[in-house]
Amino acid sequence: MKIRTLIERFERFAPQTIAEPKDPVGLQLGSLDADFHKVLVSLDVRPEVVDEAVAVGADFIFAHHPMMFHPARNLDLSDPQNQMYATLLQHHITVYAAHTNLDSANGGMNDWLASALGLSNTIGMVDGVRETTYLLTTHIQSVYADAVRLAMVGAGAGNIDHFSGASFEWSGTTWFTPLQGADPKLGAVGERNHQEELSLQTQVPASKLQAVIQAITEVYPGGQPAIELTQLANSGQQFAMGRIGDLPNTMTVREFAEHCKQVFHVKGLRVVADDMNKPVQRIAVLGGDGGKFFKIAQRKGADAYVTGDVYYHTGHDMIAAHFPVIDPGHHIESICKPQLTALFQQWQKQNDWQFEIQPSTLNTDPFTFI
């Protein structure tokens, strides 16, 4: 099986188009056209993770954090990072990363974190990318209308608010004069002729545009239907990083901090609060480095906020705002390993794909609590 096959399915779930600007998501090393037999699912791509991939016979690493946040300045193999690249190439291991697109995806990273905390009635916290939507119009002979309509919908067109497969159509007359080389069925060369046609119109998100156009051309005879695209203003799905939701019951900040330790399996965490007994129930969560967004969480009605990598001076600002923040670390995003594994297994069963899936068993958290 080609790596591209799995990635195309994944990017229907978390398209690269919803990643934050300049986030180096996607293929990191290798080729999407390579065959693979075993995928190792990991939070990070570090030398020890690559060694694990080699040891278990994986030829594909799917990670949350990009391997190359910064370009290599040289290929001096005395640098452990460069040696890691060489090891990957030596063993023909392809690496792919889904970062902020997985963070923002519906049913992705931040929904997994919110679910682990037991939150309900969740909403998005920080507005991310609004996916561009196009109005696609194609003009076809009516005999092909059903086939084209089904192909468009099957490729992901026409999902609007609470409706799926929505499209609009109207009929009209196309006038033309066949020239030399034209299909004889369309009339004699040089003689004015006309033909009744249908126009089909539907909305398509940017992430599915290529697939929809391909689907249309595959079912339309000759593969050359007329297609018009218009970019719609102020439309398209608004994706968000982070979630805000409700705990089943009110807790004190201290009790909630203990709850976070148990949920995320950490031995220690940092609490930024001026009152450990303050009651909290509506909780904001954002995986990774989200300290700078605490004012948004507070403004949107959260009683407390869970995120990682809180900076010293930002912590002071949180205290001044009387807004409790729990920092269990960046590594809580390792929740992606079992969740992605389950997702891949689901798609594998649906499509009868033949490959092995293994979540990394390594803890790549660089910090140790003593």
pLDDT tens digits, residue range 307-317?
999 999 999 99
For residues 262 and 146, is the Cβ–Cβ distance under 8 A? no
Q: What is the pLDDT of residue 94?
A: 98
Q: What is the pLDDT of residues 238-268, one digit of tens each?
A: 899 999 999 999 999 999 999 999 999 999 9
Question: Residue 301, Cβ neighbours under 10 Å: how many?
Answer: 10
Longest dimension (CA), the chain: 89
| Domains delineated in the chain | 3-99+334-358 (3.40.1390.30), 106-129+240-328 (3.40.1390.30), 132-231 (3.30.70.120)
Nearest-CA neighbor of 60 among 29, 12, 94, 97? 94
Give pLDDT < 50 ranges for the chain.
none
Q: What integer pLDDT is reported at residue 114 of this predicted model?
A: 98
- pLDDT for the residue 225: 85
| Distance (Å, whole) CA 90 – CA 106 | 36
- 205 closest CA partner among 259, 133, 141, 260: 133
Find the radius of gyration of the CA atoms of the chain: 26
> Whole-angstrom Cα distance, residue 43 to residue 365?
10
pLDDT at position 345 is 98
Which of 267, 303, 270 shows the shortest CA–CA distance to 285?
303
| pLDDT at residue 71 in the model | 83
CA distance 302 to 282: 5
Q: How far apart are CA 27 and CA 46, in angstroms?
A: 16
Strands 38-42 and 26-29: unpaired
CA 362 – CA 101 distance, rounded (Å):
24
**What are the tens digits of pLDDT across the range 121-178?**
999 999 998 888 999 999 988 889 999 999 999 999 998 877 889 999 999 998 989 9
Instruction: Extract the annotated binding site.
Output: 64-65, 103, 330, 333
Annotated binding site for a divalent metal cation: 64-65, 103, 330, 333
